[in-house]
Amino acid sequence: NRIFIIYIMNHYEQQKDIELIDKIKDDNYVAFEVLFNRYKGKVFYFIVDVSCGDYYMAEEIVQQVFVKLWEIRKSLNITRTVSAYLYTMAKNYFFNAVAQKCQEQIFLKRILDEEGKKEVTVDSEVDFNLLWEDWESIIEKLPPARRNVYRMHYIEHFSQKDIAERLNISENTVEAHIRLSNQFVKQNLRKRYDNLLN
């Protein structure tokens, strides 16, 4: 069996990216492994470059990109090159990671400013965790269609165009869902944390 797998992998390594994608869409994990080995290093160093040397972040994003690729394999619709598709996914995960870090720092700073402290304490970290849980609970109160669009955009990193194509709705509808969701989330966060969000 091992020899057969090695033979198959060697055969797949000679195939083009899009041919591997077609096999991956049919749940072929060997093809997925070949594609992973082909691009994991390239995606890794792409993130190392844009993150100015954050190797830990690069490792995390490589895992996120390929886990996501496998999860959405059935609905893959790659109109450009596979490499461009993977780099776009990686870039979106990178921007999201940076945005989340900035958001965490802002929240923590405001919590500390309110408490008059000069360093992060266990209490302030707990406060941030509670705030993050509140954010999740607010998202859950959105109407199902709007919540789905919000999560796809901000958590799964799909563009508005991709969401429209996947849900078979117009980009204007997607934009409206995102705008109304943002208003709802901000309003509810302000009710709970008005002194932190002014």
Mean pLDDT by 10 residues, the chain (198 residues): 66 87 93 94 90 85 94 89 92 79 57 48 49 76 90 78 89 91 80 54
Burial letters for 158-172: b for 16+ Cβ neighbours within 10 Å, e otherwise?
A: bebebbbbebeeeee
Cα 73–Cα 69–Cα 175 angle in degrees, nearest 5 = 90
With H, G, I as helix, E, B as strand and everything else as coil, classify residue 173: helix
Q: Each residue of 27-46: pLDDT tens digit?
A: 999 899 999 999 999 999 99
What pLDDT is attached to residue 139? Answer: 85
With H, G, I as helix, E, B as strand and everything else as coil, classify residue 170: coil
What pLDDT is attached to residue 121? Answer: 46
| 3-state helix, strand and coil shares in percent for the chain, rounded to the nearest 5 | 80, 0, 20
What pLDDT is attached to residue 92? Answer: 86
What pLDDT is attached to residue 101? Answer: 66
What pLDDT is attached to residue 130? Answer: 61
Global pTM value: 0.53
What pLDDT is attached to residue 194? Answer: 55
What pLDDT is attached to residue 67? Answer: 94
What pLDDT is attached to residue 3? Answer: 67
What pLDDT is attached to residue 2? Answer: 60
57 CB-side CA count, 13 A:
20
Q: How far apart are CA 30 and CA 34, in angstroms?
A: 6
What pLDDT is attached to residue 18? Answer: 92
